[in-house]
Amino acid sequence: MKYKRILLKLSGESLQGTQKYGLSPEVLQSYAGQIKAAAATGVQIGIVIGGGNIFRGLTGAKKGFDRVKGDQMGMLATIINSLALQSALEDNGVKCKVLTSIRMEPIGEYFSKARAIEYLEAGYVVIVGGGTSNPYFTTDSASALRGIEIEADVLLKGTRVDGVYTADPEKDPAAVKFNEISFEEVLDRRLKVMDLTAFTLCRENGLQIIVFDMDTEGNLGKVLAGEQIGTLVKP
């Protein structure tokens, strides 16, 4: 097994599938199936999910919402997504716990490093909802933070694109994909792999990142098996 423990970051926006908003049952089932297969190999899986399919603080602020309240709404959206994925996982027979960064028992137990590791070692998939619990951050930062805290071997960023490109591939058809890239080169080229806070946390704590397309069934298994399908960002 290549990794003992991973932190998987899932895009909230991907959870809406072909819809304009909300949760796609098909995407949830696809993710649950891939995570079930990964868990069956014995790898310990921590997950952080975005909230872009429901609410983003910055977008809210542009529409007149107070930024801090908007960010809190965004963090609550990540908890909705966490519960949806937990439900899909349990439906597939996978043991799963949702821990929350903001106290809200009985929806989820309050996150602590010790509690997360205890559940991971007991064979549960652990989803950490609620971002960092602070406004002005993102779930990319939460995934970097939780990945470092739980001592994950790698941060797997499962997203809509199949890796890091010389430019945003959704905007520039001439963009070229990297198989591997260093933290320094990402910074020099100003590539938007993750937001800068998240990226800096990973870089300073030596947490490697693999960016890959989670929307193609089987890709999570391929990444865990060491197949070169996304982009590895390393020191």
Q: Which residue has the tokens 């994950």?
A: 152
Binding part of the chain for ligand ATP, among 9-17, 23-31, 111-119, 144-152 by CB under 6 A, reads 9-17
Closer residue to ligand LLZGTKA7 (CB): 74 or 230: 74
Binding part of the chain for ligand LLZGTKA7, among 39-47, 102-110, 136-144, 197-205 by CB under 6 A, reads 136-144
Write down the least CB distance from residue 37 to ligand LLZGTKA7, Å. Answer: 25
Q: Which does 155 bind (CB under 5 to 8 A by kind): ligand ATP, ligand LLZGTKA7, none?
A: none
Q: Does 111 bind ligand LLZGTKA7 (CB under 6 A)?
A: no
Known binding residue 212? Answer is no
Taking the CA atoms of 168, 174, 180 and 183 in sequence, report the sign of the dihedral they define.
negative
Q: Is the peptide bond before 106 cis (omega within 30 degrees of 0)?
A: yes
- In the sheet that 180-182 helps form, which strands lie side by side, from edge to edge? 109-110, 96-100, 125-129, 44-49, 5-10, 154-159, 209-213, 231-234, 180-182
How far, in Å, are 147, 185, 228 from residue 46 at the CA level? 8, 28, 22
Write down the least CB distance from residue 32 to ligand LLZGTKA7, Å. Answer: 19
Q: Does 164 bind ligand ATP (CB under 6 A)?
A: yes
Q: Please identify which residue in 7, 39, 51, 199 interacts with ligand LLZGTKA7, judged by CB under 6 A.
A: 51
Binding part of the chain for ligand LLZGTKA7, among 23-31, 70-78, 108-116, 184-192 by CB under 6 A, reads 70-78
**Collapsed DSSP state (helix, strand, coil) of residue 50:** coil
Q: Does 161 bind ligand LLZGTKA7 (CB under 6 A)?
A: no
How far, in Å, are 7, 95, 101, 151, 225 from residue 4 at the CA level? 11, 18, 24, 10, 12
d(CA 40, CA 218) in angstroms, rounded, equals: 14
Binding part of the chain for ligand ATP, among 64-72, 128-136, 157-165, 201-209 by CB under 6 A, reads 157-165
Closer residue to ligand ATP (CB): 40 or 58: 58
Beta strand residue intervals within 117-208, DSSP E? 125-129, 154-159, 180-182
d(CA 171, CA 217) in angstroms, rounded, equals: 24
Q: Would you tell me which residues interact with ligand LLZGTKA7 (CB under 6 A)?
A: 12, 50-52, 56-58, 70-71, 74-75, 77-78, 131-132, 134-135, 137-142
